[in-house]
């Protein structure tokens, strides 16, 4: 069963506008972590933002914020004031369970974002 | 902090040959992950280790794949014999067990099997 679902294979946004990348997840574990990574054309995986399942507030890191809706099991990434350098592949990931040292990190299929001038 | 170091960056080999990919995790990290990335299957977790012990190898595609972590500072992923469908980018990542910050990826090894 798909644990991380990113339904948008590709997205376009105008420079300086905001964009939301969708992510839904499926887990029965009460303790989990949600991550977003950026992969530019150069290929490296760059960590952007993290949200813990027990965190009361939505995570923010500069222009990145995570819209965490626990009941809906969604963890959407919001990028404000898009820049040309934001054009990349974006992956949502989930870490399940810390008990017993179980800390598997699994990824969604990704969303390719293109920022237009 | 040198980050997660993978070698080689690129590998081209002939079908049937043995391929060994190497990874040095961040010093102090005690979890290590091997991923494979392809266009068709995305990012797949192949195997991961906690404190040098393999925890979950359910993602290893077949017996041709094997991974070892002889000590806290080194891991290998071996493919023997290699096949063209093994062509992919292989990433190594490391993290601190019990901490969600610090899942850090290496630059990857681009493997081409001809």
pLDDT of A101 reads 57
Residue A77 dihedral angles phi and psi, to the nearest 5°: -95, 130
Per-residue pLDDT of chain A in tens (117 residues, 90 and over written 9):
569 999 999 999 999 999 999 999 998 888 889 999 999 999 999 999 999 999 999 999 999 999 999 999 999 999 999 999 999 999 999 987 655 556 788 999 999 999 999
Chain A residue numbers touching B45 (CB-CB < 8 A): 104-107
Our CA-based measurement puts residue B93 at a distance from the nearest CA of chain A, in whole angstroms, of: 10
Burial class (CB in 10 A: 0-12, 13-18, 19+), B59: middle
Judge: B91–A45 Cβ closer than 8 Å, yes or no: yes
Task: List residues of A whose CB lies inside 8 A of any B CB.
Answer: 33, 35, 37, 43-45, 47, 50, 52, 91, 93, 95, 98, 101-110
Tell whether the torsion through CA atoms of A92, A65, A111 and A27 is positive or negative: positive
Cross-chain Cβ contact A43/B43 below 8 Å: no
Closest Cα in chain B to A44: B107
In angstroms, the separation between the Cα of residue A46 and the nearest Cα of chain B is 8
Residues of B within 8 A of A98 (CB-CB) are 98
Which of A99 and B72 is assigned the larger pLDDT? Answer: B72
- Please say whether the dihedral angle defined by the alpha carbons of residues A87, B24, A4 and B86, taken in this order, is positive or negative: positive
Cα dist. A44→A80, A88, A109, B93 in Å? 22, 11, 16, 11
Reported as a single tens digit per residue, the pLDDT across B14-25 is 999 999 999 999
Residue of chain B whose alpha carbon sits nearest to that of A51: B100
Contact A95 B100 (CB under 8 A): yes
Give me the percent of chain B exceeding a pLDDT of 70.
Answer: 95
- CA distance linking residue A104 with residue B48, whole number of Å: 8
**Of the candidates A45, A50, A101, which has its C-beta nearest B100's C-beta?**
A50
pLDDT at res. B97: 76
Which tens digits make up the pLDDT trace of B85-97? 999 999 999 998 7
Whether the pLDDT of residue B103 is over 90: the answer is no
Task: Determine the Cα–Cα distance for residues A50 and A68; give it in Å rounded to an integer.
Answer: 10
Predicted confidence band of residue B101 (pLDDT cuts 50, 70, 90): low
Q: Tell me how crowded residue A69 is: count the other CB atoms within 10 A of its CB.
A: 11
Is the per-residue pLDDT at B106 higher than 60?
yes
pLDDT value of residue B59: 92
B50-64 average pLDDT score: 92
Q: HSE (CB half, 13 Å, CA atoms) of A73?
A: 15
pLDDT of the residue at B62 = 86
What does the alpha-carbon distance between residue A110 and residue A5 come to, in Å, rounded to a whole number?
Answer: 9
State in Å, rounded, how far the first CA of chain A is from the last one.
39
User: Given CA atoms B107, B92, B41, B113 in this order, what sign does their dihedral have?
Assistant: positive
Indicate the residue of A43, A98, A106 with minimum beta-carbon distance to B45. A106
pLDDT at B2: 80
Mean pLDDT of chain B: 93
**Which of these, B91, B110, B70, lies nearest to B4 by C-alpha position?**
B91
**How many angstroms separate the CA of residue A21 from the nearest CA in chain B?**
17
| Percent of chain B scoring above 90 in pLDDT | 87
CA–CA separation, A49 and A63 (whole Å): 10
What mean pLDDT do residues B106-110 have?
Answer: 97
A107 neighbourhood in chain B, CB within 8 Å: 35, 42-43, 45
């Amino acid at each position: 069963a798909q644990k991380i679902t990113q339904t948008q294979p590709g997205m376009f946004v105008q420079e300086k506008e905001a964009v939301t990348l969708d992510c839904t997840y499926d887990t029965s574990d009460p303790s989990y972590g949600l991550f977003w990574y950026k992969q530019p054309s150069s290929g490296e995986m760059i960590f952007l933002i993290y949200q813990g399942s027990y965190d009361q507030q939505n995570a923010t890191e500069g222009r990145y914020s995570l819209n965490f809706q626990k009941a809906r099991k969604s963890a959407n990434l919001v990028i404000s004031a898009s820049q040309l350098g934001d054009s990349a592949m974006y992956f949502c990931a989930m870490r399940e369970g810390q008990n017993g040292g179980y800390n598997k990190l699994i990824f969604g299929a990704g969303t390719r974002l293109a920022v237009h001038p | 902090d040198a980050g997660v170091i993978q070698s080689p960056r690129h590998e081209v080999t002939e079908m049937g040959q043995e391929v060994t990919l190497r990874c040095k995790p961040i010093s102090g990290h005690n979890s290590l992950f091997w991923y494979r990335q392809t266009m068709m299957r995305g990012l797949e977790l192949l195997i991961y280790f906690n404190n040098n012990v393999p925890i979950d190898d359910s993602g290893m595609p077949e017996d041709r794949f094997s991974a070892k972590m002889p000590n806290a500072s080194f891991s290998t992923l071996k493919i023997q014999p290699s096949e063209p469908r093994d062509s992919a980018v292989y990433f190594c990542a490391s993290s601190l067990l019990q901490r969600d910050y610090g899942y850090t990826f290496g630059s990857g090894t681009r493997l081409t099997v001809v």
